[in-house]
Amino acid sequence: MYDKIILALSLEHGIAAQALETARRLGGDTAEIIAVHVYEPPSGSVSAYLDEELVQKAYDDAKIALRARFDNAPEVKPVILKGHSSRTITEYATTIGADAIVVGSHKPGLRDYFLGTTAARIIRHAHCAVVVLR
């Protein structure tokens, strides 16, 4: 059993229910479950053309969407972070002492044939167990 589990979620994919069920099975009734979405701000060259209010609204909307995904799961703590997805998730997992990360993987293309790139990087760099969902 794991005590602290991160659900690494992309708001564009619909695996939240499957990820939550997996985390509950891995941790039992006493595990701390943290749903993490990484908001990747626009790159420097693109952000020069975007209104700061628009960027802030996108960030705020992501926070609302993450909370809404777990309205019926009060034991889940939603956390939104800024940065590069895989690096930010693995660093956060180390910082909080997570025992496991549950991450989804899209259907891969030729470049990342076996796993999606974010999932593959998390597996390579995490200092805890990683469960990959398809």
Q: What is the CATH number of the domain that holds 38?
A: 3.40.50.620
For 58, the domain range is 4-133
**Nearest C-alpha neighbor of 81 from the set 94, 104, 62:** 62
Q: Model's pTM, two decimal places? A: 0.86
3-state class (DSSP) for residue 97: coil
Q: Write the Ramachandran bin of 96: left for phi over 0, alpha for psi from -120 to 50, otherwise beta.
A: alpha
Task: Provide the domain count of the chain.
Answer: 1
Quick: pLDDT tens for 60-115.
Answer: 999 999 999 999 999 999 999 999 999 999 999 999 999 999 998 765 554 444 55
29-61 pLDDT, tens per residue? 899 999 999 998 777 777 677 788 888 998 999
